[in-house]
Amino acid sequence: MDFMKNLDLPDLPKEAKSYFKWFNKHPIKPVSNSVSEEGAGSELRSPLMHFGTVAPVYLAVIGYLRQLHVDKKRLIELGCGTGRFLSYIKLVFPTLEVWGVDYSAGVIDYAKKNYGRFGVKFKHTPAQSTELKANHFDFVISSHVIEHIKKNEGLAFMKECERLLKKGGYVFIGTPERKKSQDLYMKNPTDDPKKRLTPPHEHEYTLLELKTLARRVFEPGDVRIDKLHNHPFYKVFVSSVDKMKPKKTIINTFTNFLYPLIRDKFPKNIFDFIVRIGLDLNLKYHGTSYQDILMANTISAESDKETAENLFLICKK
């Protein structure tokens, strides 16, 4: 129970202000179709999703790291994507040794080329079996990766997080809440690729499902789930999904036919471009901006009755 009490909920809007300043000072390099295929580079591919779902996970990680002694300790991100946010973490905590791994060679090449200069160490290896030294890292983090792993490999991923971690270390994992993501589009209990809202997502978790998985590896008292909220983002997101999901109207029937076609048949960078245009137009329709979305991120305890847009799992070894 001390573990539950010793970490206070971080101030995400405060962290967001600093991040947004850095974000604007460091231009994003274009990502190739191979990078887009892996779902990496959300900061460029879909800024709305980045600021409303991906960024809050990292902001929460930073907020918690501020409460812990990080000087000369080691952090690794499993499924680091382009490595952009890792470079920001390294800037915030310059004495922290920062590693990033990803199973995609193209993504790691991009990360080394564009963000290696910040002092982050990148390695090409799958998140479920990194083959890195056990008990070597003080912090293991992962933002929007576990949903890209098949459900039957989720346990292997969680075990790898525990294996890499030193005794007393922390795991921080962020992932979308299934009820407020995939289920908005259509129920998909078998994770049928043809019924997915987001093509690369192999399996999205509910809070109970994620907590149960974590407790198969960590002691129940050392597992905690926080809730990440963003009401302006969710309003835009729901509105966008509503235009695509199956309905018995002529317009929606056509839209629902067109969306899977573009999603499954087009190169992913073209798909991303089309989706980005739609989300941007919806953003303007609702009278909000990327900065507004970023600043609206908040975090609450699991006891909060409101269903979260994203789950933030914390485990201590």
Q: Where do the domains of the chain lie, and which CATH numbers do they carry?
A: 2-316 (3.40.50.150)
Beta strands in the chain (DSSP E): 74-78, 97-102, 121-124, 137-143, 165-176, 223-229, 298-300, 310-316
| pLDDT of res. 190 | 95
Phi and psi (nearest 5°) for 311? -100, 145
CA dist 35 and 192 (Å) reads 23
Rounded mean pLDDT for each run of 10 residues along the chain, 317 residues in total: 74 96 88 73 83 96 95 96 94 97 91 92 92 96 95 96 97 97 94 90 97 97 96 92 74 70 76 79 88 96 95 97
| pLDDT of res. 251 | 66
CA dist 204 and 133 (Å) reads 29
CA dist 74 and 161 (Å) reads 14
Eight-state DSSP code of residue 145: -
- For the record, the structure tokens of 37 come out as 């295929």
CA dist 257 and 243 (Å) reads 12
Q: Which amino acid is at 242?
A: D
pTM for the structure as a whole: 0.91
Characterise 163 by phi-psi region: left (phi > 0), alpha (psi -120 to 50), beta (else). Answer: alpha
- For the record, the structure tokens of 120 come out as 């982050």
